[in-house]
C-alpha cells in the first residue's frame, strides 16, 4: 500500500538555525499538508498546498515558515530561524482531493528538537 | 469561539465490551467529520469519515454517528481488543475549507 514518507525521523538543531523537513507524498495525490503536534497536545494545521501554491495557512505559519515542492515527488517545510517553541512532531499528509471530505494520509513524522 | 471537545481523561474498557468515544463541537457547522487513530510517536491514521447529511457510518467493528442538532459525534468500537488501545482523534472540516480542525483526542485503554 502506498504511504507518505518523511525524513529525517529526528532532527536536532540549535536555536536560530534553519531546518528543512522533507516529505514524499503518495504519488497520485494532489493536495499536501503540514501539521505539527507539540508533545502531549493536539494536532495543529500549518499549511495546505495545491497546484504549486499555498491553499491555506494557519496563524502558526508565519514568515519563518515556507513550503516548496522542488520536484515531482518531494514536499518540504523550511523553518528559517528555529525557536525553542518550534520543538514538536511535524507531520506531512497528502490527499487526492482537497477539503475535509477526503482521507488524509499521514507520514510517520519528524521529531524536531530545538536546543 | 469555535471549540472541539473530546474526553480528556483516558477511557478504560474491558476487552470484548463496546467502547464509545465522544466528540462535541460548538460554533461550527462542519460538512465533514473524521475519526483518526494515533499511536504514541506515530502519525494519525484515518478510520472513518461521515458527512453532515449522514447519520451513521460503519466499517467492520467501527461505527460513527453524527448528530448536527446535538453537535456531537459518537465513535463506537464493538468487541474491543487490547490492540484497539490508542488515542482517537476527531477532526472537523467546514465546507470549501481545506483545513481540518482537530480535537485533543481521547486515550482508549482496552484491558484484557
Smallest Cα–Cα separation from B100: which of B89, B92, B110? B92
Compute the distance between CA of residue B3 and CA of residue B8 in angstroms, rounded to an integer. 14
Smallest Cα–Cα separation from A45: which of A29, A31, A56? A56
Smallest Cα–Cα separation from B79: which of B56, B57, B63? B63
Are B99 and A45 within 8 A, CB to CB?
A: yes
Phi/psi for B82 (5° steps) reads -55, -30
Q: Does B1 touch chain A (CB under 8 A)?
A: no
3-state secondary structure of B84: helix
Mutate to test the interface with B, among A24, A25, A100 (most CBs of B within 10 A): A100
Confidence (pLDDT) at B97: 57
Q: Identify whether B66 is part of a domain.
A: yes
Q: Where are the domains of chain A?
A: 5-97+105-114
pLDDT digits (tens, 9 = 90+) for B5-56: 998 889 999 999 999 999 999 888 888 899 999 999 899 999 999 998 999 9
CATH topology assigned to domain A5-97+105-114: Immunoglobulin-like (2.60.40)
Whole domain around residue B57: which residue ranges? 3-7+20-97
Q: Is the pLDDT of residue B96 over 80?
A: no
Task: Identify all chain A residues contacting B97, using CB atoms and an 8 Å cutoff.
Answer: 56, 99-100
CATH of the domain at B88: 2.60.40.10
Of A43, A101, A111, the CB nearest to B44: A43
Pairing of strands B3-6, B19-26: antiparallel
Structural domain total, chain B: 1
Task: Identify all chain A residues contacting B93, using CB atoms and an 8 Å cutoff.
Answer: 99-101
Of B46, B51, B96, the CB nearest to A104: B46
Amino acid at each position: 500500500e502506498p504511504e507518505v514518507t518523511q525524513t529525517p525521523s529526528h532532527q536536532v538543531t540549535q536555536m536560530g538555525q534553519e531546518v528543512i523537513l522533507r516529505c514524499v507524498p503518495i504519488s497520485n495525490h494532489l493536495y499536501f499538508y503540514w501539521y505539527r503536534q507539540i508533545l502531549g497536545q493536539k494536532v495543529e494545521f500549518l499549511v495546505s498546498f495545491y497546484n504549486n501554491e499555498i491553499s491555506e495557512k494557519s496563524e502558526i505559519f508565519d514568515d519563518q515558515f515556507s513550503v516548496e515542492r522542488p520536484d515531482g515527488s518531494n514536499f518540504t517545510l523550511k523553518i528559517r530561524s528555529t525557536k525553542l517553541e518550534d520543538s514538536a512532531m511535524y507531520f506531512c499528509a497528502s490527499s487526492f482531493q482537497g477539503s475535509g471530505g477526503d482521507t488524509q494520509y499521514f507520514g510517520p513524522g519528524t521529531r524536531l528538537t530545538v536546543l | 469561539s469555535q471549540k472541539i471537545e473530546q474526553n480528556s481523561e483516558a477511557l478504560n474498557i474491558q476487552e470484548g465490551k463496546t467502547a464509545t468515544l465522544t466528540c462535541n463541537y460548538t460554533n461550527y457547522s462542519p460538512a465533514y467529520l473524521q475519526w483518526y487513530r494515533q499511536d504514541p510517536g506515530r502519525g494519525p491514521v484515518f478510520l472513518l469519515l461521515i458527512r453532515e447529511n449522514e447519520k451513521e457510518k460503519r466499517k467492520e467493528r467501527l461505527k460513527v454517528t453524527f448528530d448536527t442538532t446535538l453537535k456531537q459525534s459518537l465513535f463506537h468500537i464493538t468487541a474491543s481488543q487490547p490492540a484497539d488501545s490508542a488515542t482517537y482523534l476527531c477532526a472537523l472540516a467546514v465546507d470549501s475549507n481545506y483545513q481540518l480542525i482537530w480535537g485533543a483526542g481521547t486515550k482508549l485503554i482496552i484491558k484484557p
